[in-house]
Structure 1
Amino acid sequence: MTVLILGVLLWSGAHLFKRVAPDARARMGDTAKGLVAVLVLLSIVLMWWGYRNADAGFWWGRHPATVGINNLLNLLAVYLFAASGMKTRITAYIRHPQLTAIKAWAVGHLIVNGDLPSLILFGGLLAWAVVEVILINRQTAHPAPPPRASTGKEIGAVVGTLVVYGLIAWVHYWFGYPAFG
């Protein structure tokens, strides 16, 4: 469990560094980008390893209704990541589409995974995303909405979402976590 907690803390710390210590981050220049990238990769390995090997309390499990809600939230999360990169129409209404995606993803996983390792992983990443949004909103002005996206971009985002979501479901099955069952 310690490895999982360290992974979540490392992820959060690496991402929050720019917001919590902007002067220190600026003094590091481009070196900080490399350091943050290494720390994020290490945090992902620690979270994966810690989650796979953690065994602790269990309070609730999967139910067909909660699986459906989880899948819809995760489909939304994948779409928000695509929309963010392609600057689709929804990005004019959601200021932080990637962080909103993380929140939807985390809530979806918490709905179907009522064990302590899941609460630490998904709850920890949900807390990080909420804190990140608060800090960004306090430090930066609200940008102007992006220009209206073309219909082609909208279609591309939807098609990309479905392909990536299918790959994510396949990887979940491969690791032993059925996405639809």
Structure 2
Amino acid sequence: MGTVVLVLGVALWWAAHLFKRVMPQQRAAMGETGRLAATGAIILSVVLMVIGYKWADPIWLWARPNWMIHLNNLLVFIGFYFYAASGLKTRLTQKVRHPQLSGFKAWALAHLLVVGSVQGVILFGGLLAWAVVSVIVINRANRDWTRPPEAALWREGVAFVAALFLMLVVGQIHGWLGPWPFGGGA
């Protein structure tokens, strides 16, 4: 039952996020109601993914080596950095067209590497595939990309510090709710 709920959550995530891209006229016609419906669907999808993941009995495909925790943490940090860089409009955003989706892909890949269960593949593989498809759909719909203006170098430092702070806060919450993400078995 848990795996079914997990699959439904991932499918709803895909549908809620891609509806605007795949059916822009229908989404635009819905106005604010459509925005609220999409937000509700995204929240529901997260709830379904969490519940489904927790309910599912893990079916292990591989055991991760301990060193992979460090690779996971590096990729998660890169994901947070891409998000921070996007918000601060750093120099990175001149080189990467979709920094938030790139950060999301780094996060999903990181978790896919260390969670070697069928449920991990469904959740993190499904979300990674969504991010890849989203980039493709967005790029096809809007082929022209105007690079943002060059940003001050100090913004990179602020993005780095913000990513580090987020990594520590989210890591602590992750440890309270699930496995400790920083190794050491705490």
Fold shared per TM-score above 0.5:
yes
| 1:31 aligned partner | 33
Q: Work out whether 1:95 is the aligned partner of 2:71.
A: no
Cα deviation digits, residues 13-67 of structure 1 (max 9, x gap): 0000011111111111122111111110111111111111111310212322211
Q: 2:29 aligned with 1:46, yes or no?
A: no
Does the CA-based 8 Å contact 2:91-2:153 persist in structure 1?
A: no
How many residue pairs match? The answer is 181
* Structure 1 counterpart of 2:64, one-letter code: R
**From 98, 117, 120, the counterpart of 1:118:** 120
Q: What amino acid sits opposite 1:28 in the alignment?
A: M
Deviation at 1:162, TM superposition (A): 0.7
| Superposition map of 1:1-181 within 5 A | 1-181=3-183
Q: Quick one: distance in 1 between partners of 2:5 and 2:37?
A: 20
- Larger deviation, residues 153-162 vs 41-50: 153-162
Q: Is the 8 A contact 1:60 1:112 kept in 2?
A: no
The question of whether the paired residues in 2 share the 8 Å contact of 1:58 and 1:116 is answered with yes
Shift of 1:164: 0.4
TM-score normalized by the length of structure 2: 0.93
Unaligned runs of 5+ in 1: none
CA contact (8 A) 2:86 2:100 kept: yes
Taking structure 1 as the reference length, the TM-score comes to: 0.96
Tell me, what secondary structure is at the counterpart of 1:60? coil
Q: Given residue 161 of structure 2, which amino acid in structure 1 is its aligned partner?
A: V
Task: Tell me the secondary structure at the aligned position of residue 114 of structure 1.
Answer: coil
Q: Please state whether the residue corresponding to 2:11 is helix, strand or coil.
A: helix
Root-mean-square deviation (Å): 1.1
Q: Gaps (5+ residues) in structure 2?
A: none
Give the 3-state SS of the residue equivalent to 2:123 in structure 1. helix
> Deviation digits for residues 108-158 of structure 1, max 9, x if unmatched?
111111101110000000111111111001000332111122233222211
Q: Distance in 1 between matches of 2:6 and 2:73?
A: 24
State percent identity of aligned pairs.
48
Question: Residue 84 of structure 1: CA displacement?
Answer: 0.8
Q: Is the partner of 2:93 in helix, strand or coil?
A: helix
